[in-house]
Amino acid sequence: MRREWWHDKVAYQIYPKSFRDTNGDGIGDLPGIIEKLDYLKDLGVDIVWISPIFCSPMVDNGYDISDYYDIDPMFGTMEDMDQLIEEGKKRGISILLDLVVNHCSSEHEFFKKAMEDPDGPYGQYFYIRDGKDGLPPNNWRSYFGPSAWTKIPGYENKFYLHSYAAEQPDLNWENPEVREKIYEMVCWWMEKGLGGFRIDAIMDIKKDLTWQDLPVDGPDGMGAIYKINQKVKGIDAFLLELRRRCFTPYDGFGIGEALKINEETLKKSIGDGGYFSSIFAFEPCHVYRKGDDFTTYDFPIDFHEWREKTFQNHELIGDIGFEANLIGNHDQPRGASLFIPKKDYGFNSVSALATIIFCQRGLPFIYQGEEIGMTNREGWKKEEYADSATLGKFEYFEQWGYDIEKIEKVIATHSRDNGRTPMQWDDSEHGGFTIGKPWLVVNENYKEINVAAQEREYGSILNFYKRLIAFRKSEEYKEILTYGSISQIYGQYDYIFAYRRALGNQCLDLICNFCGEEQVVELQEEYDNVIFVNQEQTTMIGNRIVLKPYEVVVFEKLNTV
């Protein structure tokens, strides 16, 4: 594997609407990100991915872009953006923006022109098909619930395709003119000095051009649209072209949001010559998704499944490249709530979870607020949700006669709004996020969980994260933590998450007791050093280690060969 500049970096995702508001309108903004660059630098972050900040009607919080060449005024100006890139560079922080090109907004000029004349050239920029006697052309269900087809106003039987909300029409990647427009835009941004892009919904860009129905998988008679990705061929050409035209010339970092891909696609996605620099390791962190149906989502996750998927995934990847390891993002509930049973939440469990993620092979990605242990919000009322996908779920399940009480519970624990409540900076009103009225309710626990308090407290989660990142990047262990192989150890123990990183004649064994009870592990090795812990006073009795609840220990063994 060729060495790349981003291999040993630590990344941080910002959801800009909820990060830091500087002008009191209740919405986070670019000056807010600039203000917090020193905080990120101090944490040890090298790469910052910012969810979309482009002009948008905000139907899906910016994942519906109406102008790719401008900043939405709610976030600031292009001057702010230029300054952010500059200030980032001064601190050794690369900025990644979010590349949303499976679809644009229905307010984008291309789409408006297409709607005025669906048979004209801009009609070819989208997927426009005749319906079946006024009904959609096929039974594809959008990610957000209803049909993936919406009728074009003024036409009896013409529909356009949208994998997500109706206000997010899918761009026609088969049209070379569309691809050119996209590449031109990406290069324009790369010229500004970005480190690269996170690439949204990218596995959706290839459609099944036979437009056949999908097997029915719900009471609505439809089939989930993502299933076409698993059967269509030919996405390779688009992805490789995107990389060649937009990323290779700038040595840019492109990380794909590639969900539910098969083994073969995974192997082609990363590493030398891959479609992307990296992709997110969703397999292990999505184990709570038992089926397509939201009602089957589990909470909290099943430890054993999580562990199993993690190692299966590493086995598949081997040494071909790196995936990005994550605990959460803006599409997920809070990791601290999802991975840790509520009764066990605290410094020990959150720091153990972070260590398990950070010492694996792959790029660590922090989602804003994880570094202080932010949790799901409790007590959501229906009218407090802002996310269109969450609201769509209420509508969908009501319409199809599901047990509403059960649905409300699943939504409360799994709504993406849990991950989107504003960042908790201090214990002043609204957690120091804004002096105005926040666009989304702040989690009431901001008085206990906030950055300022944790900066003051030596043994806080925040200070632990700094120590963990410093360990990951230390001269002594950076090489093995980045490039070392990974394999599971002590798998016969319940609730022990343990693995070996090995490189040359050095090896590191991480052993973590991920449950609320003490556990004793009989060690199979004699170690030279204990090099990282999350709790004080590790107890050893002979070759046995007595692990306290959520205790993690990293041992070093030298001269293994």
Task: Tell whether residue 63 is a contact of ligand NOJ (CB under 6 A).
Answer: yes
Q: What minimum distance in Å lies between the beta carbon of 299 and ligand NOJ?
A: 20
Q: Which DSSP helix (H) or strand (E) runs through 530?
A: strand 529-533
Residue among 462, 484, 482, 463 nearest 474 (CA): 482
**Residue 225 binds what, of ligand NOJ, Ca ion, none (CB under 5 to 8 Å, by partner type)?**
none
Contact 498, 490 (CB under 8 A): yes
Q: Compute CA distances 336 → 148, 187, 241, 340, 511, whole Å.
A: 33, 37, 38, 6, 20
Nearer to Ca ion, 23 or 535 (CB): 23
User: Under 8 Å CB-to-CB from 510, ≥6 apart: which residues?
Assistant: 355, 356, 359, 497, 498, 499, 500, 501, 552, 553, 554, 555
| Cα angle 359-507-273, degrees, rounded to a multiple of 5 | 60
DSSP string of 416-481? THHHHSPP--SSSGGGGS-SS--SSPPPGGGGTS-HHHHHH-TTSHHHHHHHHHHHHT-TTTHHHH
Give catalytic status of residue 257 as yes or no.
Answer: yes
CA atoms of 527 and 530, how far apart (whole Å): 8
- The binder of ligand NOJ chosen from 29, 60, 167, 344 (CB under 6 A): 60
Burial of 234 (0-12, 13-18, 19+ CB in 10 A): exposed
- The binder of ligand NOJ chosen from 201, 222, 287, 553 (CB under 6 A): 201
Q: What minimum distance in Å lies between the beta carbon of 330 and ligand NOJ?
A: 6
Q: What minimum distance in Å lies between the beta carbon of 17 and Ca ion?
A: 9
Residues 237-266, interacting with ligand NOJ (CB under 6 A):
257
Nearer to ligand NOJ, 29 or 60 (CB): 60
Residues 94-113, interacting with ligand NOJ (CB under 6 A):
100
Contact 87, 41 (CB under 8 A): no
**Residue 60 binds what, of Ca ion, ligand NOJ, none (CB under 5 to 8 Å, by partner type)?**
ligand NOJ
Catalytic one of 80, 170, 204, 257: 257
Nearer to ligand NOJ, 60 or 283 (CB): 60
**Residue 527 binds what, of Ca ion, ligand NOJ, none (CB under 5 to 8 Å, by partner type)?**
none
CA atoms of 124 and 177, how far apart (whole Å): 9
Closest residue to ligand NOJ, based on beta-carbon distance? 63
Nearer to Ca ion, 53 or 521 (CB): 53
Q: What minimum distance in Å lies between the beta carbon of 386 and Ca ion?
A: 16
Q: What minimum distance in Å lies between the beta carbon of 164 and ligand NOJ?
A: 5
Helices (H), 106-175: 109-116
**Residue 72 binds what, of ligand NOJ, Ca ion, none (CB under 5 to 8 Å, by partner type)?**
none
Task: Tell whether residue 164 is a contact of ligand NOJ (CB under 6 A).
Answer: yes
**Residue 27 binds what, of ligand NOJ, Ca ion, none (CB under 5 to 8 Å, by partner type)?**
Ca ion
Binding residues for ligand NOJ, how many (CB under 6 A)? 9
- The binder of ligand NOJ chosen from 167, 170, 200, 283 (CB under 6 A): 200
Q: Mask: binding to ligand NOJ, 461-500, rule CB under 6 A, as x and -?
A: ----------------------------------------
Nearer to Ca ion, 75 or 144 (CB): 75
**Residue 100 binds what, of ligand NOJ, Ca ion, none (CB under 5 to 8 Å, by partner type)?**
ligand NOJ
Residue among 338, 416, 346, 324 nearest 18 (CA): 416
Q: What minimum distance in Å lies between the beta carbon of 75 and Ca ion?
A: 8
**Residue 75 binds what, of ligand NOJ, Ca ion, none (CB under 5 to 8 Å, by partner type)?**
none
Nearer to ligand NOJ, 60 or 551 (CB): 60
**Residue 124 binds what, of Ca ion, ligand NOJ, none (CB under 5 to 8 Å, by partner type)?**
none
CA atoms of 219 and 2, how far apart (whole Å): 49
Tally of helices (H runs) and strands (E runs) in the chain: 18, 23
Applying CB under 5 A, the residues found at the interface with Ca ion are: 21, 23, 25, 27, 29
Contact 438, 417 (CB under 8 A): no
Nearer to ligand NOJ, 142 or 482 (CB): 142
Task: Tell whether residue 167 is a contact of ligand NOJ (CB under 6 A).
Answer: no
Tokens of 12: 């941080």
Q: What minimum distance in Å lies between the beta carbon of 98 and Ca ion?
A: 18
Catalytic one of 29, 200, 370, 371: 200
- The binder of ligand NOJ chosen from 70, 331, 426, 427 (CB under 6 A): 331
Nearer to Ca ion, 335 or 438 (CB): 438
User: Under 8 Å CB-to-CB from 490, ≥6 apart: which residues?
Assistant: 496, 498, 511, 521, 524
Nearer to ligand NOJ, 41 or 227 (CB): 227
Q: What minimum distance in Å lies between the beta carbon of 230 and ligand NOJ?
A: 18
3-class secondary structure, 407: helix
> What is the helix, strand, coil percentage profile of the chain, to 5?
35, 20, 45
Distance of CA 175 to the CA centre of its chain: 29
CA atoms of 392 and 338, how far apart (whole Å): 22
Contact 336, 305 (CB under 8 A): no
- How do strand 54-55 and strand 67-71 relate by DSSP bridges? antiparallel
Closest residue to Ca ion, based on beta-carbon distance? 29
**Residue 21 binds what, of ligand NOJ, Ca ion, none (CB under 5 to 8 Å, by partner type)?**
Ca ion
Q: Which residues bind ligand NOJ (CB under 6 A)?
A: 60, 63, 100, 164, 200-201, 257, 330-331
Residues annotated as catalytic are 200, 257
